[in-house]
Each structure stands twice: as structure tokens, then as C-alpha cells.
Structure 1
């Protein structure tokens, strides 16, 4: 596994990203198959193609306000459109010449990209990095209304995996994980977000 690559559950036309919400947001989204109020369109929302990274972030759906884990299938066209507008959340010499250039770009960024340590099934941080993408209020309507194809509730699966881990059944738990593989990023997009080419 290279240091910075996107690993995801995807097919020819779509990619799955994960989010965790409280039931007041998660249940209506699953029932409607799209994000509806009280989902906020005025604040940044973060999407993550790494299931295990979100498990670390949400405490396996146990943290307050993150009790429902959603698998949001979006179009690859929308995903790559978001990445084409992205600016890293910290200065990266692979992307910008210097801090001033990065600051100028970040000030006007509609989409943020951050690379965080990928996680093992047991939550150990790896050297490899996992991407999370922050969608600002300037693009969130596109995400909610155009890019989103389907929303599934993965919470029962999350609870089952956690129970299996707690009982020492690591192999059975691993068998329930989403199948993630390296996403084929166009070279120009990879350079823009600081991914390995």
C-alpha cells in the first residue's frame, strides 16, 4: 500500500463514501434515499471512502451524533468533480510551490482534502494515509441533489463487526468489511490533491 492512495468500494460509474450521523439525520436520509432536513446545507460536510477510518472516527457508531453509519453511493463524475476543486488543508510542496501559494488557494477553496492515518481492523494507525474530503456550502447542493445515487444504513453491520471483534472472531469480522481497492485517479487529479501518482 502506497502512502497516499484512495482505496474505495467503487464500480464503473459510482463510488461509496461513508458518513456518520445521529438518527435524526440518518433515518430520514435512508428512508428518502437522499439527504433531507435536518441535514445541513450551510456547513461543511466530510465524506470518507475508507470504512475503517470512519470506524475510528465514529467509535464504531458509539460517539454522540454519530450513531448511524451511512454508505452513500455517489457518481464517480461527482467524486472527481469535487476532487478537481480540492485544496489540501495544510501546505504540501507536492501541490503548491510555497505557503503563500497554498494560503491563497485555500482561502477560496470550495472543497478541502485531508490525509489521515489509515486504520487496521483493530484501530491501529498505519503509515498509509486515507483521504477525507470536505464539501463546503458552495458544492453541498450538488452532492445532495445530483451526485448522491443511494444511501444505505450500515449500522447493523457495524455493530455486528464490533461484536465479532469483541468475541475474538477477527476473521469473521474482516469478512464483513466492504471490499475496498485502489481507485484509479487521473494523474492531474492525483497531483492536485497530493496523492501518489
Structure 2
């Protein structure tokens, strides 16, 4: 089946969706231990969440990049994620979606969330033809994410390292079997309809 050009693919249940982030151990390990983001986590700055495990691996280098050594799977409430999608603005100006660049900039300043579409990645972290969602949370959205929406936080760094070792040894079949099973997110298109031209 042909993948849609843009889509939200994620691990999700009836009530939650799993997103990924990578942090230094100073933030990541207490978050896992306490099941919530620690006080050191800045609630007043933009934070980006990624429903795609492999896009996160591309971004953090399988958990090897400095400051991104702890890869977290953050299970959040779907009603919170849906709220974030409904209140999002595109991270860049798109003719046909916005009346003009100035209107987009005004919307960007007001919006608590922003959407960016980046090429999905394969097991070798090469870009694919279709794109996956990155969702930026700021202000109210970042605070809600940390303090209301988060249900559980797991450390998936060992999984990242195990899959990377299999990929490096050329055993792509075994690596693929370990990947989180991501499926199209229900109603994603409808929730983002205001971002289509």
C-alpha cells in the first residue's frame, strides 16, 4: 500500500499515543525514574516531539549525540495530542495555506504548537519519499505536555542501541522485528485540516 505523502504514524492505543524525545542523562534518567519531567526541564521553551521512532533515531544518532544520550518513549493522552494538532501552525510559510507571509508570522506567534513535516527514515536512516510529523510545543502546550498529558515515560535507549547494532551488522530483518509497531493515527488529517491549502 502506498504511504500518504504526509502522515502521522505512531504507536497508539484508544487513549494514548507514544512520542519520542532524546535528552541528556541529567534530564532523561530522572524523567524515567519519576514518570514525569523533572524541575530542570524547562517548561517555558519550545520542545519537539516525534511520533516516529526512526526519525528520532536519525535526530539523536541512535542515542549517541551529545546531550541526546537518553532516548525516551513518552506516552501521552490522545486528547492532549489532538488539542496540540488542532491548535498548530505550520513551522514555515506555505503559499495557499496562509494569505501572506505576514499573516503566517502572526499566526506562528499566537499558536502554542507548530507542525513540521520531515522525511521519514529507513533502518539505515536514509530519507524515504514520504514525510513524518514533528510537533513543536511551546508555552501552554509545553506545560500541558509535561504536567497534564504525560502518562508514562520509558527509557528506550537500550532498544535503540540493540537495533543500531543489528543494522550495523547487516541484520536488517532482525532489526525490523524490534521496531515499535507504528500505525496511521486516527483522524490525523481531520485534526490538521486547517493546515491544508
Q: Give the TM-score, by structure 2 length.
A: 0.94
Shifted more, 11-20 versus 107-116: the winner is 107-116
Once the two structures are TM-superposed, the CA of residue 75 in structure 1 deviates from its matched residue by: 0.5
8 Å CA contact 1:16–1:74 kept in 2: the answer is: yes
Shifted more, 100-109 versus 68-77: the winner is 100-109
Equivalenced residue count is: 195
Aligned partner of 1:172 in structure 2 is 174
Q: 1:32 aligns with which of 29, 34, 40?
A: 34
Gaps of 5+ in 2: none
| Deviation by residue 1:23-55 (Cα, 9 ceiling, x = unmatched) | 000000000011112111121111000000010
Q: 2:63 aligns with which of 41, 61, 64?
A: 61
Shifted more, 103-112 versus 48-57: the winner is 103-112
Moved over 3 A (4+): none
Once the two structures are TM-superposed, the CA of residue 94 in structure 1 deviates from its matched residue by: 5.3
| Deviation by residue 1:79-117 (Cα, 9 ceiling, x = unmatched) | 001111110011124532332322221122211111111
Shifted more, 122-131 versus 186-195: the winner is 186-195
Following the alignment from structure 1 to structure 2, what is the Cα–Cα distance between the partners of residues 155 and 7? 20
Aligned partner of 2:191 in structure 1 is 189
Once the two structures are TM-superposed, the CA of residue 186 in structure 1 deviates from its matched residue by: 5.4
Following the alignment from structure 1 to structure 2, what is the Cα–Cα distance between the partners of residues 151 and 194? 32
Change (3 A) 1:124 1:145: same
Query: What does 1:1-197 align with in structure 2 at a 5 Å threshold?
Result: 1-93=3-95, 95-185=97-187, 187-194=189-196
Change (3 A) 1:69 1:9: same
Once the two structures are TM-superposed, the CA of residue 142 in structure 1 deviates from its matched residue by: 0.8
Following the alignment from structure 1 to structure 2, what is the Cα–Cα distance between the partners of residues 184 and 43? 29
Q: Per the alignment, in what secondary structure is the counterpart of residue 139 of structure 2? A: coil
Q: Per the alignment, in what secondary structure is the counterpart of residue 139 of structure 1? A: helix
8 Å CA contact 2:6–2:131 kept in 1: the answer is: yes
Q: Give the TM-score, by structure 1 length.
A: 0.94
Task: Give the alignment's Cα RMSD to 1 decimal.
Answer: 1.5
Q: Per the alignment, in what secondary structure is the counterpart of residue 53 of structure 1? A: helix
